[in-house]
Chains A and B, each alone.
Chain A
């Protein structure tokens, strides 16, 4: 039983311990691929921890895919402690996939520096309340249902999370741009490659929540910057 020497193992008690930010963190630090391997469903040493692990890995993979990472770089696998051969096959296959894609920033939708910047934004979004709240409610909403007894399919939950990822990534990316100095919606729109109407919506939402403020007017365009109290608080 032999496998590639290119994998490094980090021990955790259960895949349920995997925080989505650990996966984005690994890519920020230069990993070419991340595997999360745990028990089979129904055979979890921690009863249901692996279901949570799968959701956590799933949201990290989706957010990173959205910002330009090749989704094949994130893998969630299952094998028991008695299935050495299966583990070897998993690592070998994953290694082959990653070799085909190439090092980080080659087989992805963005080249290395831009990809890194975007992953930073995804990393922030994955650490924040909005995504994590819905991820935390995933099981409850798909099994028991919400407060009103409405039950959602996994597909519906992922679709909802996909739109939240879009909103959150845009929001934190705009925040970062505003942090760098006053900027117009038009400029933001071209930097973020998002329609100005969408950018305006996010900027106004940030203004409403007290994160952004008007900094002046350039020609006919208002300029926005990060709100002073946010700077002071930081």
Chain B
């Protein structure tokens, strides 16, 4: 490649999508006048096969060493054009995209002239940046073929088994002595009526006997450092520390139960939680003449705004169980809204009503009152207070975020939502991944889930986690931070503290303390470069100089 910069500019008509609103002929003519531009072509559709072939031919025949495409949007088409450059033997990072559809033709439909002038400016800015682009090589790193699963409840066990069955070594860390999590406290699982403890025990048996699962109970994760492919985990058990390396981490740490102290006269005897009711079923000690269940006890109120989602189904399941085993017992459910989504759960609601369970709606502003052997509730339709007999009151309390969530979120550099549950990377595109690569989540750690949902999520998370494990090698986009001026770096660590991904570290070198970028962990946000007072760091393809050139090109008039 010669030192001379030879830029080719391709202006896309996008049929009439761009050409209908912007004077593309004028753009092409204008592009020819720009510095370093040696070739300009207007295409009907640059992304069509013929458009792509024209780019490839021009790279070869015109010895282009930079390519600028002025068309739709990098969101959808940048990978295609980068690939085109690569196929023609040009480094894909010597490509720059100018957005004249989303930023011109679509938003300036009535302003052909000023829209065209804006498109000219954008092309000038793109060309100015392109001249400064440098080739980049994608970053490769080998994966540690092991996984850490945090939490030995149903989600954690399921995820661990799924990964182990695929042939990966799994470290399953549970802080309690026993596997099973919340399942251990349940009686049966709705809507199928499966025995919860037996189910937990059978899964635990599979986990214990699996040759590829290293089970670590009564163990806490003390520290996790590193990044996808190379996490270094430190655990502690009985004061003994242990270290091992994993490539991926699944967070399945579950949630905790809200003990409703101070709510509706909770005493654990006559006013109990659904969980305590299940314990009575389990021991066979349940007996009551009239049961009143109060939904949303401690949920969807000012201090805890969210719906715990599963409590309605638990109440329905337990109400049915009472009616089936003690037909003479009256069951009344005081609710605000019934959340019984999906066909089976809706069926449970229908069945409960068939069996004579009475549902009474209450208003959050006039909550039911428990006193003595009765519960008073203001009936919304009758508009007056009803006294309901109740020798047993059962509170449907929400699940709340795990007590260790904040500590874990700091260890793994992952986010929590406003209720301190773990926050997925994207609600639709990455529901089981965290924003941090190589870390996944499932089950109650994310949000209250039914056992069935927790299992689906665990299988999904295991599947997501096995993608980088199966590839064995990580390839990362090279748009990352680079220490461009090592002499300037004072090793102060200001950038290290601000990096959202832990992608920077201070190392000792012959020249003293210097920052080192861990490219596989870096996402290229640029916080470090924007912070460094020595201007020692830069971001590939978004350097200070490239951006400054764009600003200059933007503000010089197109005439």
B230 contacts the other chain (CB 8 A):
no
Are A8 and B125 neighbours in the complex by a CB distance under 8 Å?
A: yes
B473 → chain A closest CB, angstroms: 24
Are B531 and A135 neighbours in the complex by a CB distance under 8 Å?
A: yes
Q: Which residue of B lies closest to A91 (CB)?
A: B107
A90 → chain B closest CB, angstroms: 13
B146 contacts the other chain (CB 8 A):
no
A121→B519 CA distance, assembly (Å): 35
Q: Which residues of B contact A25 (CB under 8 A)?
A: 548, 551
A159 contacts the other chain (CB 8 A):
no
Given known pairs A9-B103, A22-B547, A25-B548, the reply for A133 and B435 (CB within 8 Å) is no
A64→B122 CA distance, assembly (Å): 27
Are B415 and A26 neighbours in the complex by a CB distance under 8 Å?
A: no
- In-complex Cβ contact of B526 among A12, A127, A133 (8 A): A12
Are B110 and A2 neighbours in the complex by a CB distance under 8 Å?
A: yes
Are B525 and A139 neighbours in the complex by a CB distance under 8 Å?
A: no
Interface residues of A in 1-36 (CB under 8 A from B): 1-3, 5-6, 8-14, 16-20, 22, 25-26, 29-31
Instruction: Give the one of B529, B535, B554 with max A CB within 10 A.
Output: B554
A30→B552 CA distance, assembly (Å): 9
Q: Which residues of A contact B529 (CB under 8 A)?
A: 17, 19
Instruction: Give the one of A8, A30, A135 with max B CB within 10 A.
Output: A8
Are B500 and A47 neighbours in the complex by a CB distance under 8 Å?
A: yes
A53 → chain B closest CB, angstroms: 8
Are A137 and B494 neighbours in the complex by a CB distance under 8 Å?
A: yes
Q: Which residue of A lies closest to B544 (CB)?
A: A19
Q: Mark A153-189, 1 if CB is under 8 A from B, else 0.
A: 0000000000000000000000000000000000000
Known interface pairs A8-B554, A46-B435; 16 further A-B residue pairs with C-beta atoms within 8 A, sorted by A's residue number: A1-B106, A3-B107, A8-B122, A8-B125, A12-B526, A14-B527, A17-B526, A29-B551, A31-B554, A46-B500, A46-B525, A49-B525, A52-B530, A53-B530, A128-B533, A137-B494
- In-complex Cβ contact of B548 among A14, A18, A22, A136 (8 A): A22
Q: Mark A96-111, 1 if CB is under 8 A from B, else 0.
A: 0000000000000000
B270 contacts the other chain (CB 8 A):
no
Are A49 and B494 neighbours in the complex by a CB distance under 8 Å?
A: no
Given known pairs A2-B109, A5-B111, the reply for A10 and B530 (CB within 8 Å) is no
Are B479 and A5 neighbours in the complex by a CB distance under 8 Å?
A: no
Q: Which residue of A lies closest to B99 (CB)?
A: A9
Q: Mark A35-79, 1 if CB is under 8 A from B, else 0.
A: 000000010011111001100100000000000000000000000
Q: Mark B267-293, 1 if CB is under 8 A from A, else 0.
A: 000000000000000000000000000
Closest 10 CB pairs of A and B: A17-B526, A46-B525, A132-B533, A47-B500, A16-B527, A5-B114, A14-B525, A129-B533, A49-B525, A136-B494
A215→B121 CA distance, assembly (Å): 49
Q: Which residue of A lies closest to B490 (CB)?
A: A129
Interface residues of B in 473-490 (CB under 8 A from A): 479
B524 → chain A closest CB, angstroms: 5
Are B525 and A17 neighbours in the complex by a CB distance under 8 Å?
A: yes
- In-complex Cβ contact of B555 among A29, A45, A48 (8 A): A29
B231 contacts the other chain (CB 8 A):
no
Interface residues of B in 509-549 (CB under 8 A from A): 523-527, 529-535, 539, 542, 544, 547-548
